[in-house]
Structure 1
Amino acid sequence: MLKKLKEDIEVIFEQDPAARSYFEVMLTYSGLHALWSHRMAHWFYKHKLFFVARLISQVSRFFTGIEIHPGAQIGRRFFIDHGMGIVIGETCEIGDNVTIYQGVTLGGTGKEKGKRHPTIKDNVLIASGAKVLGSITVGANSKIGAGSVVLKDVPENSTVVGIPGQVVIQNGVKIKNLNHGDLPNPVGDRLKAMDEEIQMLRSELEALKGGSTDDNSNL
């Protein structure tokens, strides 16, 4: 346990250049506080003391803004950077050397039972605001871009961006030429299609009105 606690601090110094001292990190890093609270809550959860486990997690959520269900399994050297708004579900499994940023959700897609949250393999980075939803697997050494919504399995050594998430790089090779200014926008595409359909219906209506006027003038 002491070795894990030490690793939890050391990974912060490796990942965050703003970290200056052990004293500062232990007292001011909310991600570390949330992780340590989770390790305690998870111990009670495994011993079927579910109320105590959930109480600890909710108190931690109140003070840190990070909600980690006590049933979630988290590996070693887990780093939460600027953790406000992070949500990690009950059946989520997180490997070693994983980094996540603020606003990330590792959640479910409905009221299904059993394994309903993601499995995150080793050395994964999940950027700000990304949503990884459902019982899917994010392969080792992969990166999820900021604001992405991932609903399908991600292969190892991949980079995923967009809504829904698409693999754009795999094993160092570009799969798709997708720039930040050219991300998928299904809502915008649907609205554009609806607008085009409305314009077409208006044209047809005007044509019908014109035909009706011509018929009346011949009477």
Structure 2
Amino acid sequence: MSDYSIIQKDFYRESGKWLSRIEIWKKCINPNLHFVYILRMAQKHHKIRLLNIFWRIVLRHYQIKYGFQIYPETQIGEGFYLGHWGSLVINPDTIIGKNCNIAQGVTIGQQNRGKNEGSPVIGDEVWIGTNAVIVGAVTIGNNVLIVPNSYVNFDVPPNSVVLGNPAKIIPAENATKGYINRKV
């Protein structure tokens, strides 16, 4: 799969249309899409020294400008969607699946000690609401909705809704129905 195809799939989640390169570039007026485009370019060019340096500098500029702290090392599946811009932190060792939505104020972080030492692994079709916190070497299953302001430091099975602090799991077969649109 080409890097352009991944960018197309990310942008499809926003517009519901397959876009040409020029149409993608025009959509970059939206800060969320602009940042995702730059992030994908930094990921694409990580092995080519000069391009890697260039795209990391550009990415750093937009991390500061838009408030997104997402690094090229973060493994993110296609169809990545940032709902709003500003104040978002994702640890570089985090793994995120396909068709995931992340809102503003979210922290997905590493835990440095204890039984959950490490970084999260997030499955496909996960919706993470505003100001949610996910920390530690936890696994979030597929089709999981994490309600705004939830604190998650434990594994979450597939097909679940997670809410509260301390968080509770509610089994739900269609947990993300109506939340994850335009899947790729």
TM-score, normalised on structure 1? 0.66
Greater RCO, CA 8 A, separation 6+: 2
Aligned to 1:196: none
1:88 to 77, 87, 90: 90
CA contact (8 A) 1:53 1:70 kept: no
Aligned to 1:130: 132
Aligned to 1:76: 78
Q: Does 1:67 align with 2:80?
A: no
- Name the CA shift for 1:137/1:110 in 2 (closer, same or farther; >3 Å): same
2:43 maps to a residue whose letter is H
Question: How many angstroms apart in 2 are the aligned matches of 1:29 and 1:107?
Answer: 26
1:103 maps to a residue whose letter is G
Q: Does 1:26 align with 2:61?
A: no
Please say which of residues 124-133 and 55-64 is displaced more in the overlay.
Answer: 55-64
- Name the CA shift for 1:97/1:23 in 2 (closer, same or farther; >3 Å): closer
Which structure's residues are more often helix, by fraction? 1
CA contact (8 A) 2:7 2:40 kept: no
Question: How many angstroms apart in 2 are the aligned matches of 1:6 and 1:45?
Answer: 19
Cα deviation, residue 27, structure 1: 3.2
- Name the CA shift for 1:103/1:35 in 2 (closer, same or farther; >3 Å): same
Q: RMSD in angstroms over aligned alpha carbons? A: 2.7
Question: How many angstroms apart in 1 are the aligned matches of 2:140 and 2:103?
Answer: 16
Aligned to 1:170: 171
Q: Does 1:5 align with 2:7?
A: yes
Identity of aligned residues (%): 31
Tell me which structure has the larger Cα radius of gyration: 1
- Name the CA shift for 1:95/1:46 in 2 (closer, same or farther; >3 Å): farther
Cα deviation, residue 7, structure 1: 1.7
Question: How many angstroms apart in 1 are the aligned matches of 2:39 and 2:14?
Answer: 17
- Name the CA shift for 1:51/1:86 in 2 (closer, same or farther; >3 Å): same
Question: Mind listing any 5+ residue stretches in structure 1 that lack a counterpart?
Answer: 15-21, 174-219
**1:28 match: secondary structure:** coil
TM-score, normalised on structure 2? 0.77
Aligned to 2:42: 41
1:121 to 87, 109, 123: 123
Q: How many residues align?
A: 163
